[in-house]
Amino acid sequence: MIEDRRIETQPGLAFDVSLAGPPDAPLVLLLHGFAVSRHLYDAQLPALAAAGFLAAAPNQRGYSPGARPDPARVAEYDIELLIGDALALADRLGHRDRRFHLVGHDWGGSLAWDIAFRFPDRLASLTMLSRPHPAAFARALEEDPGQAHRSRHHKAFQDPEAGGRLLANDAEWIRVRHAANGVPAAATAKHLSVLGSPPAMEAALAWYRARGKVYRQTGPVKVPTLFIWGDADDTVGRMAAEGTGAFVDAPYRFEVLPGVGHYAPDQVPDRVSALLVEHLARHPA
């Protein structure tokens, strides 16, 4: 059973979090990416709880109304603050001094790579969904023309009018993209219940605007890592995905899901849950 809770990490930052599992069990913190929400993991939370974990999926900064600084102040969405949010949530869930498992998708994956690189002693394992290692991604941007095309939205989202375009015609851009990646309409509706308003969309786009055109440099990680990539992902090409293993100095598994798009937990939830539970059991906290 999934419990909805609001967790305050500091004054002015209260995150909406989906929780499942015993409160004293090993923590699995699941971070979503852009154009989705904590509901990306609605199928994984009960599966993780049944396997003996405490699973927590927050709506991150800007996605939670109680943790939404003015998106016009893009410095409030700097990656250091986003990483701090994730670590603070782990602390509040009883894992300040206990290792936990970290799962990241898309932008949440960018945070997770950085956390694994800089704070490896805090993690028992890392699971990545549709987000290659930043160094592999940077190499692909230079060497694979297809990757630059797949990532063209990064530049487009810098436009001040981007939010209006994404929400126009009942969020047509998001609905079409989700459908093309195999996301069920019911799942899209859940995500738009979080992201489908101008304040939420502007806050989500502030993540891109705070980063600008400079991608953060991240070195090899030394945390046991599972990387799940769908070969029909419209944002991550094969070169970036296959190159990721060169930047993991720890047990590593690369799992390719044929015909699966960018949002694997929504498209093939049972397969993602099985892979995740197996990986976590192999690398206990």
Predicted pLDDT of residue 224: 98
What pLDDT does residue 146 have?
74
Which are the contacts of 174, defined by CB distance < 8 A and separation ≥ 6?
35, 166, 188, 191, 192, 195, 196
pLDDT of residue 151: 63
Alpha-carbon separation of residue 185 from 102, 163, 179, 266 (angstroms): 27, 21, 7, 10
Would you state the structure tokens that stand for residue 124, as one six-digit string?
């028992």
- Distance between alpha carbon 31 and the CA centroid of its chain, in Å? 4
* The pLDDT value given to residue 115: 97
Per-residue buried b or exposed e for 224-258, using 16+ beta carbons within 10 Å of the residue's own CB? bbbbbbbeebebbbebbbbbbeebbeeebbebebe
pTM of the model: 0.96
pLDDT at 47: 98
* Share of residues in the chain with pLDDT > 90 (%): 85
Q: How do the domains of the chain map onto residue ranges?
A: 3-282
68 CB burial (10 A radius; 0-12, 13-18, 19+):
buried
Distance CA 138, CA 243 (A): 10
pLDDT of residue 142: 79
Q: Both ends of the chain: CA-CA distance in Å?
A: 23
Q: Extract the residue ranges of the chain whose pLDDT is less than 50.
A: none
pLDDT of res. 150: 72
Give pLDDT, residue 154. 66
pLDDT digit string, tens, across residues 204-219: 999 999 986 556 678 9
CATH number of 3-282: 3.40.50.1820
Distance separating alpha carbons of residues 103 and 57, to the nearest angstrom? 9
